[in-house]
Structure 1
Amino acid sequence: MTMTMTAPNPADPAALRAAYGTFPSGVTAVCALRDGTAVGFAASSFVTVSLDPPLVSVCVQHTSTTWPLLVDRPRLGLSVLGDAQDVTCRQLAAKNGDRFAGLDLTVTDGGAVLIPDSAAWLECSVHDIVPAGDHDLVLLRVEALQVHNGVPPLVFHASGFHSLTALAAPAA
């Protein structure tokens, strides 16, 4: 079967966002201390990469004003946000204001900042940075982790937040 693609120009940002939005993703917070102050952002571009060595990645837009404050930190906290943290995610993604106002943070000895009530915490170091179009692909080495069983992840899909539901057991 042959088919001709009739979609809009793939260089059209709106068409790309619509296509990319069909893929659900988890949402993470990438945070650390800088001069004693929490700095960080929300990222839906989190991907697991490797078990050996333990690597994950996030993509960071070149225009980010937060990433330059994090890139040289010895440890970054990566919190896999829980399904009840949609307001926290919006706050961490805000362009203005105090992203951490009202949040009770956990800070590791290495300066990684972690968000309580998350599904998991990963304490990471920057392993490599790969330029990729208008973003950088940031490979992070997992140095320590903690899973919070019973906290379902926050899911971002079609420009909105969602929760996972358990699949029904197959009929016997």
Structure 2
Amino acid sequence: MSPPRKAQPPSFSTQEFRAALGMFATGVTIVTARTPQGGVIGLTANSFNSVSLDPPLVLWSLSRAAASLAAFSKGSHYAINVLAADQKPLAERFALSGVDRWKDVGFTEGSGGAPVLHGSAATFECFNRSRYEEGDHVIFVGEVERCTHRPGVPPLLFHGGRFYTEHPL
């Protein structure tokens, strides 16, 4: 018997799916880049993951409905800023629309001009290597050109719709 060629329709609602996904604790990032006009853009994302050590590749995903999709798709570089536990207000601000996300935010110029946020637990400066459209999101694969981290700095975590800080067991 040959395997099915297509998945069965879901047996759950969108809300049930979101609740189940929320049981997976993640780190919190702000992905930043430059627009074609040179402006800065950024958004909070927890869809970050490693892909490969050689070459160094990471991925993250963005909703196809996001206003910043065109800028991230066309740009050559972006930075993934892994937030420290004390950066919760920044995570909340960059998750909102209609606010000045960049007011009083310190950053330096990274690879290709992508903003690298001050105070992050780690940063990954990436060349925008490839994109894959899947469902209602676009998956971005970045080739890491530079990375930094601050040992001993606790990361900001997200689980079940709430922010947490790291506590060793």
- Normalising by structure 2, report the TM-score: 0.89
| Deviation digits for residues 64-104 of structure 1 (CA, Å, limit 9, x no counterpart) | 11121122222211100111111100111111111111211
SS at match of 1:57: strand
| Deviation digits for residues 129-157 of structure 1 (CA, Å, limit 9, x no counterpart) | 11111111111110111111221111010
Q: Which residue of structure 2 lines up, in the alignment, with residue 22 of structure 1?
A: 23
Query: Of 43, 50, 53, which aligns to 1:51?
Result: 53
Please tell me the root mean square deviation across aligned C-alpha atoms, in Å: 1.4
Check whether the contact 2:157–2:165 (CA below 8 A) recurs between aligned residues.
Answer: yes
Check whether the contact 2:26–2:159 (CA below 8 A) recurs between aligned residues.
Answer: yes
Residues 109 and 51 (structure 1), Cα distance of their counterparts in 2 relative to 1, 3 Å cut: closer
Larger mean Cα displacement after TM superposition, 96-105 or 29-38: 29-38
Give the gaps of 5 or more residues in structure 2.
Answer: 1-9
Deviation at 1:109, TM superposition (A): 5.3
SS at match of 1:97: coil
Query: Of 85, 94, 102, which aligns to 2:96?
Result: 94
Q: Which residue of structure 1 lines up, in the alignment, with residue 167 of structure 2?
A: 165
SS at match of 1:124: strand
SS at match of 2:112: coil
Check whether the contact 1:125–1:143 (CA below 8 A) recurs between aligned residues.
Answer: yes
Percent identity of the aligned residues?
33
Deviation at 1:33, TM superposition (A): 2.2
Query: Of 84, 87, 103, which aligns to 2:86?
Result: 84
Q: How is 1:53-72 mapped onto 2 (pairs within 5 angstroms)?
A: 53-72=55-74
- Normalising by structure 1, report the TM-score: 0.87
SS at match of 1:161: strand
Cα distance in 2, alignment partners of residues 81 and 109 from structure 1? 19
Give the gaps of 5 or more residues in structure 1.
Answer: 1-7, 168-172
For 1:129, the aligned partner's letter is R
